[in-house]
Structure formats: structure tokens, C-alpha cells
Amino acid sequence: MSDTIYRAAVIGLGFIGAGDEVRAEEIGQRVVDLCGSVHSDVLQAHPRTMLVAGASRDAGRRERFARRFPATRAYADYREMLRAEHLDVVSVAANTPAHAELTVACAEAGVRCVFCEKPLATSLADADRMLATCAAHGTMLVVNHNRRWHPTYHAARQALADGAIGDVVCVYAHWPSGRLGNVGTHVFDALHLVMRERIIAVSGTLDRTGRPDCRGAQYHDPGGWGIVRFAGGTHGFVEASETLPAQVGLGLRFVGNTGEMALSDRGCLVTVHRGETVQVAGPADDVVTMRLAVDEIVNALDMGTPPTSTGEDGRAALEVIIGFHASDRRQGQWVDLPLTGQDRQIEVQIG
């Protein structure tokens, strides 16, 4: 095993980037609810990464970051940080519209791995630019779709592959508070993971309730509902209205010809038709997926192995989100993926 210590930094010292309590209060969130998944904390704690710097345009966030991590340097200009610090791993934790610029700059500066927050980007053109630049410079791009490292979702994936419910005939997905971008990206990526196939068509409608975006008036990330079609022909039904009560929670249900499987962050249950219910995986409250992600990043840098959550995976989830927007413009008509023509030019205002 290598004993290399990888130099790490964070761009975006807010809520998830640096556990900034002031920013959390501004957007109506609590750092404690991240359950340890804060980029700066995990990079600081990992025995094979050394948190050396952070960058933010906000002076208050830089000051609070410097107080929490006195051995690091805080930069107002991320470009200066990239020039000065010779970094191996950079977490990109700024808002989504900045992801492409920051990721491209990291790759061009020789950063070996960019750990990018989700959603990957706000447009397919930006996503493609990120992937192309990382490939050209040999930079590994990892997207923080945290369920990619969650053991419950991998247990569900294996259960489907083992035929626990027979052939999957339909899928249901629901989550509260809308936000096809910020929340939907997790769901669509989880569906790709568990089903082992991509969504290839969307028929969707956007929710026009108009709930304000907590990140600012410049952002607009509506919920919606509709149908998706997987490569193998299975249909999935999506309900993500902005008015669904929080108690509904995030859940996936897979219906097969011999049983059903219910999946959420709380566990995975399989019920055989006219038979027993079996717990495939129970609650995993002690799992911190970001720690598992950084473990994997370190091993991938050591061995040259691919990550579990790639830039291509992030792009695929983004294309489903944009597909909902494209279908809504056609009053819910089916839109095939990959998108073509003017649909490829759609930019979503995800914060």
C-alpha cells in the first residue's frame, strides 16, 4: 500500500464545502444534518489527505475557515491557490453554475482529482467541457452523488441482479420539496446505479408552484412529475411536486413479476408476491458516504482505478433533468436521450 499523502483543498467554503454555520443559517439548513459529510472535515481527517487550503470570494467564510483549520491557507482567488499549492485533490463545492469553470481550471492546473458537488453542471455544454478537459489532462472527475457509496443502495443493486423480484416491470420514485436539479440528480443517478441501465427518454411536466430557491432569487429549480423509460424498456414514474409534505421522504419502489423492492436511505425491503418480506439491508446510520468517497479517491490515485461515481455518471443524471425541462416545453411530449438540436442548449438555473 502506498504511503503517499495527497495535498487537498476546497473551493467554496460554505455549507457543504466547509460546514459554515452562517451559510447554513442563510439557506435554512443545519450542518449537523450533513451527518459528517463536509468536504473540509473529511479531507482534514483522512490519514492519506492533507487539507492545505481553501478558497472563497466571501471574506467571512475565509475567516471562519481559517479559524477552524489554522494550519491551512485561505484564498480569495482560487486561481492563486491553484498556482501556489500544487494540489492533488480539490473539492469543488461552490454553487452549480461555477462547477464547469472551477473544474476546468483545476484540470488545467494539474490537479489529479476533482471531487465535484452535484449537480455536475447547469448545461450539457458545460458538462461536456468538464469531461473533455479532465480527460485531456488525466484528471479524475468524481461527482458527489453520495448514494454511489451507500451500502444499502449497493445491496439493492445486487438484489435486483440476483432476481430477488424477478424481472423489473416498473419503477416508482418520489421525494418532497421538488427541486429536480438538486434533489432529482441524486434520484436519477441512484436509479441508474440500481437498475444498471440508463434512462433513455423522458415525458415530464414542471411544477409551477414557484417555491423560492433558498440559495437566492437568481436560481430556479422547480419540481415536477412524469415518466422515464430505461434502456431495457422498463418505465419509471416520478413524483416530485414542490408541495409534497416532508414526511413523504425520498423513496424508490421496484415492481417485478415475482415481488417488489422498497428502497430508501433507511433500508431496503423485498416482498415476494403472496409471500414473506425480507430485509435486504437495514438502516446504516453510521455510514458517512463522503468518507467512503475519499477512501476510494485515495485508492484510485494509488492504483489508477476508476471511481464509482464518474463525470459521465453525473452528466447522465443532468441530461435526465434537462430532459424534463425539454419535455415540459412540449407540453409533456416524449423526449429521447441523448438530447439533440435546441434541447442541448437548455441551461437549468440550479443553485
- Find cell 475567516 and name the residue: 63
Q: Across the chain, what does the average pLDDT equal?
A: 96
Q: Which CATH class is domain 148-281?
A: alpha beta
More confident residue, 237 or 28: 237
All cell numbers assigned to 30:
443545519
The domain spans of the chain are: 6-147+288-309, 148-281
User: What is the predicted pLDDT for the residue at 1?
Assistant: 59
User: What is the predicted pLDDT for the residue at 321?
Assistant: 98
The yes-or-no verdict on residue 195 having pLDDT over 70 is yes
> Ranked by mean pLDDT, which of 12-26, 226-240, 266-280 comes out on top?
226-240
What gap in Å lies between CA 102 and CA 81, rounded to an integer? 12
Q: What is 6-147+288-309's CATH number? A: 3.40.50.720
Contacts 24+ apart (CB under 8 A), 259-264: 259/164, 259/165, 259/166, 260/165, 261/156, 261/159, 261/160, 261/164, 261/165, 263/152, 263/153, 263/156, 263/194
- Whole-prediction pTM value? 0.97
User: What is the predicted pLDDT for the residue at 69?
Assistant: 97
User: What is the predicted pLDDT for the residue at 214?
Assistant: 84
DSSP category for residue 273 = T
Mean pLDDT of 115-133: 98
What gap in Å lies between CA 173 and CA 200, rounded to an integer? 16
User: What is the predicted pLDDT for the residue at 283?
Assistant: 76
pLDDT digits (tens, 9 = 90+) for 237-287: 999 999 999 889 999 999 999 999 999 998 999 999 888 999 998 877 789
User: What is the predicted pLDDT for the residue at 332?
Assistant: 98
| 8 A C-beta contact, residue 350 and residue 215 | no
What gap in Å lies between CA 33 and CA 348, rounded to an integer? 27
pLDDT digits (tens, 9 = 90+) for 48-76: 999 999 999 999 999 999 999 999 999 99
Tell me if the bond preceding 306 is cis, omega within 30° of 0: no
